[in-house]
């Protein structure tokens, strides 16, 4: 690796331009040098910040897709898990209530939760359970549950 202050690719471009001085003339040399230098720094910037694919909304299939979706949102946005109440609860049947959300690292065997030490595929699992706090029907829940499910 060279200790020269000008990177090798840029030096080789400058050498090529210097070889064409007679043909290009002073203005042509300046224009070529400027263009090559701009190209070099644009390439460096692109290498540091590669363009991301557009965010595809919907059910994410990978953590990368999930992160892409989350990066478009306000970081202070509240997270909630929603739980549809099962049938057989009278007037509450089918209603959707806020639940507690948590995540864990798990292994899956097909569509089933597998043994943690098993050979199933690794996944980031999202869990929800009903929020244990009493909230009058139709009232918004404004305070998130404490960690560990305490009310």
Q: Which residues of the chain have pLDDT under 50?
A: 149-151
pLDDT, tens digit, 9 for 90 and up, residues 41-60: 888 887 777 666 778 888 88
Identify whether the C-beta of residue 146 lies closer than 8 Å to the C-beta of residue 112.
no
Q: Where are the domains of the chain?
A: 7-51, 63-110+122-136
Residue 108's pLDDT is 92
CA angle 57, 63, 66 (to 5 degrees): 25
Identify whether the C-beta of residue 24 lies closer than 8 Å to the C-beta of residue 32.
yes
In sign, the C-alpha dihedral spanning 108, 113, 118, 123 is positive
Residue 99's pLDDT is 80
Other CB atoms closer than 10 Å to residue 100's CB: what's the count? 20
Residue 45's pLDDT is 80
The CA distance from 144 to 119, in Å, is: 36
Identify whether the C-beta of residue 17 lies closer than 8 Å to the C-beta of residue 29.
yes
Is the model's pTM score more than 0.95? Answer: no
């Amino acid at each position: 690796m060279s200790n020269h202050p000008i990177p090798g690719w840029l030096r080789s471009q400058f050498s090529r331009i210097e070889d064409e001085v007679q043909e290009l003339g002073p203005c042509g040399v300046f224009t070529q040098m400027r263009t090559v230098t701009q190209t070099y720094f644009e390439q460096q910037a692109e290498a540091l910040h590669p363009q991301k694919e557009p965010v595809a909304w919907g059910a994410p299939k990978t953590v990368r897709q999930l992160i892409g979706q989350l990066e478009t949102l306000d970081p202070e946005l509240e997270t909630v898990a929603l739980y549809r109440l099962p049938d057989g609860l009278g007037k509450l049947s089918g209603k959707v209530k806020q639940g507690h959300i948590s995540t864990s690292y798990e292994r899956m065997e097909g569509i089933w939760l597998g043994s943690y030490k098993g050979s199933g595929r690794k996944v980031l699992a999202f869990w929800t359970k009903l929020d244990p706090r009493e909230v009058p029907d139709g009232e918004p829940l404004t305070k998130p549950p404490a960690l560990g499910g305490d009310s």
